[in-house]
Amino acid sequence: MSVLKGTGQFFCLLLLALTVAGCSITNIGGNFSQALANHDDPALVRDGAPSYLLLVDSLIAGDPDDEDWLRSGAKLYAMYSAVFVDDPQRARRLSERAFDYGQRALCADNSDGCGLIAQPYAAFRSTLDEFDDDELPSLFTLTTSWMVWAQNHSDDWNVVAAVPKLELLLQRIIELDEGYEHGRAWMYLGILYSFRPPSLGGNPEQSRQCFERAMVLSEGRDFSVKVAYARYYSRMIYDRELHDRLLFEVRNANPQSNGLTLMNILAQEQAEVLLESAEDYF
């Protein structure tokens, strides 16, 4: 499950959207996340995010069971560790904090979620069936923080064991609301299905279908879907024509879109990296 930082980890920016409300301290997380999502200067976000992360830590320390702050911490630590941290050891530590917050957020949201990831597969599946729409934000946060943790622990056997559970989580999110977060659960499934080549049990056709569905649900507004499609599916099956078409479409499009601007700008940067390396890859 090793993924190249700078090409594969862009999708962790899919952790930014939270509900925007008023200006009280309890709503800073949503307001800050919305401001990040709509920002057009990734360098400014990189430089400013650590101060806010420390603030979130202090607020969680003051109220360890506040599910909103736990979700906010999980999303932002996952985003920061995956996108802005180059040191592998530091990224591992930060992703561990994101994953811890993600687990605690689901536990605070619904006690059935406490210790969920440690359950055997059958029990894990049974517990997931008990969750409904009310737990969607926490389920999605757990899934994304878990995937970021997995990226930063690719040498850990637990990552291999986590893939079937991650698949179940994504399938449950899709069952509850396939359009949640612009249909990103479909994109994540597409990534999971493309981790292994066909000769080793991978399923490229399922991967393709997932990416296509994600593009429909995002209505083309989320550039990271096309970049993931190119990076994971097109390269897996060595389809240079599809690879370049998707990336040129991303590179030439206007990234400004409510709630997706920062993500789209970073996706365009990733598209350039993939296009530059295409000659050597194919």
State the pLDDT confidence band at 46, using cuts at 50, 70 and 90: confident
* CA gap 164, 142 in Å, rounded: 15
State the pLDDT confidence band at 29, using cuts at 50, 70 and 90: low
Summarize the confidence of residues 259-270 as an average pLDDT.
90
pTM comes to 0.84
Q: Which pair of structure tokens corresponds to residue 191?
A: 């990534």
* pLDDT above 50 for 16: no
* CA gap 122, 101 in Å, rounded: 24
Buried b (16+ CB within 10 A) or exposed e, 138-174: bbbbbbbbbbbbbbbbeeeeebeebbebbebbbebbb
The pLDDT tens digits for 83-102 are 889 899 999 999 999 999 99
The pLDDT tens digits for 198-250 are 766 678 999 999 999 999 999 999 999 999 999 999 999 999 999 999 999 99
**Percent of the chain beyond pLDDT 90?**
62
* pLDDT above 70 for 33: no
Structural domains of the chain, ranges and CATH numbers in brackets:
9-281 (1.25.40.920)
